[in-house]
Amino acid sequence: MSNITLTTVDVMALEKQEGAEFAFCKMGLLDLMGQAQINFKFGKFEDIFDVDHFIDYLKDDVRIVRDIPEWFTDKTELFSSIRRTVKNIPKYAPAQFYIDNVLPRIKEKKIMALKPFVDRLGYDNVPPEINKLRCRVNYHALKFLPDIEQMADLLASRMRNRTGSSNPYMALHLRFEKGMVGLSFCDFVGTREEKAIMAEYRKKEWPRRYKNGSHLWQLALQKRKEGRCPLEPGEVAVILRAMGYMKETQIYVASGQVYGGQNRMAPLRNMFPNLVTKEELATKEELDGFRKHVTSLAALDFLVCLKSDVFVMTHGGNFAKLIIGARRYMGHRLKSIKPDKGLMSKSFGDPYMGWAPFVEDVIVTHQTRTGLPEETFPNYDLWENPLTPCMCKA
């Protein structure tokens, strides 16, 4: 087995083996924090993570170095030259692909960049020790900087004490930013003007997918039936109320700028007025130190969601998957709700369904979607469901 491994944080490491002389670690971020915009610009690894802890924790697994060796003088070449880049790595490639296609080039050039990097190594077609290493990286080696941890603890404490006494709180990861709505190519409630503006936005941003727009209505209906559309804030409100959550529920919202603004948020806020964000829990001065790196603000959201009594995701993405996976890994004692958007679309689309049968539908549908460990299956998502490789003595 080659000792080139990929981890959750895009770590590429090459130990001194089979003629290779150096280890190189490209510390970049996975879309773990990608909640604000689709085209998110990530900061450096050390902006939010404890690098010393990361290197020390993994020292017996992977040799990681902070910098490119001094003998390699043209560092810009590493990310710009075709000669120094391994490209077109297939998504979820097996380990053998790296042994056959990547290792020979690194042995030849000593240092190479891998592009793209995220989601390139498969889950169920690699040796078990590699998945166990991924778990050690994700749940033990990755540690946020102390100031981020402390601020997240403070925000979580304020959530629990908003009413003057200790109370549980819910964290809601709301994926309804303009970029997400546009990229989904789903149809949403709105005026003709809003729909026309969204159509122009999609045509500009994704012209190949948009084409002439004539096929999009049927595509949108199909995607909604398959549960591939983000839940609207109003839909989230109705689902939560059907689950039994009352108006007094304290809800922390982790979200970018919601498409449609306050008008779109109104149904959710009317049913659950105790909605707050980190900007409402903390003073401007307290958050100013984290504004230098947008990933630091996302890290705060991540930790406050992780510490919540109930976590609710509304769409896919690594941010929510990693939270659900981490909560499972920590003992699955905390509820993590993953709405079944496909089945819910049928209930929402039934004009004859009353409130009582809708409530029954919601409760029955989500009895097994509360974050308990699930049996793994081919091509399962390791980060959302770390049962076998991680929880069996990773």
Asked if 143 and 152 count as a contact pair (C-beta separation under 8 A), the reply is no
Distances (CA, A) of 348 to 19, 271, 283, 295, 340: 61, 17, 39, 35, 12
Asked if 9 and 29 count as a contact pair (C-beta separation under 8 A), the reply is yes
pLDDT of 371 reads: 66
List, in sequence order, the alpha helices (H) in the chain.
51-57, 77-80, 95-97, 103-109, 128-136, 146-160, 178-184, 192-205, 207-210, 216-225, 233-242, 261-271, 278-281, 284-288, 294-306, 318-329, 341-348, 355-365, 387-391
DSSP-derived 3-state class of residue 174: strand
Please tell me whether the peptide bond between 116 and the residue prior to it is cis, using omega within 30 degrees of 0.
Answer: yes
DSSP-derived 3-state class of residue 183: helix
Rg (CA), the chain: 23
Specify the DSSP class assigned to residue 32. G
pLDDT of 389 reads: 64
pTM: 0.83
Residue 104, number of CB atoms within 10 A of its CB: 11
pLDDT of 102 reads: 87
Structure-token pair, residue 56: 């020390």
Map tokens 């039994």 to a residue: 244
Give the max Cα distance, the chain: 72
C-alpha span between 338 and 321 (Å, rounded)? 10
Distances (CA, A) of 159 to 142, 144, 173: 25, 20, 15
CA dihedral 24, 29, 30, 32 (to 10 degrees): 150
Asked if 33 and 298 count as a contact pair (C-beta separation under 8 A), the reply is yes
146-160 and 294-306 helices, crossing angle to 10°: 50
C-alpha span between 174 and 258 (Å, rounded)? 8
Angle at the Cα of 234 from the Cα atoms of 233 and 240, rounded to 5 degrees: 90
What is the residue-wise DSSP string for 131-156? HHHHHHIIIII--B-HHHHHHHHHHH
DSSP-derived 3-state class of residue 87: coil
Per-residue pLDDT tens listing for the chain (394 residues): 333 332 333 333 322 233 222 222 332 222 222 222 222 233 478 889 999 999 999 999 888 888 778 888 777 777 677 788 888 888 888 888 888 988 898 888 888 888 777 777 887 777 888 888 888 898 999 999 999 999 999 999 999 998 777 789 999 999 999 999 999 999 887 888 988 899 999 999 998 888 877 777 788 888 888 889 999 999 999 999 999 999 999 999 999 889 999 999 999 999 999 999 999 999 999 999 998 888 899 999 999 999 999 999 999 888 998 999 899 888 777 889 999 998 888 888 888 899 999 999 999 888 878 766 666 665 667 788 887 667 655 4
Residue 271, number of CB atoms within 10 A of its CB: 19
Number of residues in the chain: 394
Give me the amino acid identity at 343.
L
